[in-house]
């Protein structure tokens, strides 16, 4: 009877040891999973911070460009003193001189507007070309990775 009780206790101890080992394995697996998720979260958070920073830089750049473009009109007018403009007007002797000056200025304005439009069109074309090239590069990289993954498996 004493031997049966001892055997029963030994069996119970062995069962508890096995349960403990299984629980430890479960704990280790849960810890590894938590570590993996923590790493993925940190990677995603870093990417979001980088994207936010790049967006802020792009916004600042666009604001600077906008202020620069808005400042061109006021800057040119502010850069030319009123006295200089009045002196140039006083040099015009007749209505024909005034008309000729006005025609020349309108032609210059039209030329500058056309040059601006051309520059804007070229910029848009360049942006489209770069976007297309970037898309092609990403597609190519994705295909290469997929092929490498297929070869590796």
142 pLDDT exceeds 80? yes
CA dist 93 and 86 (Å) reads: 13
Alpha-carbon 52 to chain mean position: 7
* Average pLDDT over every residue of 36-40: 90
54 pLDDT exceeds 70? yes
User: What pLDDT score was predicted for residue 79?
Assistant: 59
Q: List pLDDT tens digits, range 61-103.
A: 888 877 777 766 555 555 567 777 777 777 877 888 778 888 8
- Helices marked H in the chain: 2-79, 82-90, 95-152
User: What pLDDT score was predicted for residue 22?
Assistant: 95
* Average pLDDT over every residue of 103-116: 90
CA dist 51 and 146 (Å) reads: 26
CA dist 62 and 69 (Å) reads: 10
* CA neighbor of 116 nearest in space, from 75, 124, 79, 59: 124
Query: Pick the residue with more confidence: 40 or 67?
Result: 40
* CA neighbor of 89 nearest in space, from 79, 102, 106: 102
User: What pLDDT score was predicted for residue 74?
Assistant: 55
CA dist 69 and 75 (Å) reads: 10
CA dist 69 and 74 (Å) reads: 9
* Average pLDDT over every residue of 22-34: 93
The pTM for the full model equals 0.38
144 pLDDT exceeds 70? yes
User: What pLDDT score was predicted for residue 76?
Assistant: 55
12 pLDDT exceeds 60? yes
31 pLDDT exceeds 90? yes
């Amino acid at each position: 009877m004493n031997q049966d009780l001892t055997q029963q206790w030994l069996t119970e101890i062995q069962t508890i040891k096995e349960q403990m080992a299984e629980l430890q394995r479960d704990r280790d697996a849960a810890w590894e999973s938590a570590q993996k998720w923590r790493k993925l979260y940190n990677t995603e958070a870093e990417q979001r911070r980088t994207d936010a920073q790049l967006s802020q830089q792009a916004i600042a750049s666009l604001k600077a460009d906008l202020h620069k473009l808005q400042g061109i009109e006021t800057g040119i007018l502010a850069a030319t003193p009123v006295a200089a403009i009045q002196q140039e007007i006083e040099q015009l002797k007749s209505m024909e001189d005034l008309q000729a000056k006005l025609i020349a200025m309108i032609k210059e304005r039209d030329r500058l507007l056309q040059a601006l439009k051309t520059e804007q069109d070229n910029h848009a074309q360049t942006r489209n070309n770069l976007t297309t090239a970037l898309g092609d590069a990403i597609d190519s990289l994705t295909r290469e990775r997929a092929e490498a993954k297929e070869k590796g498996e």
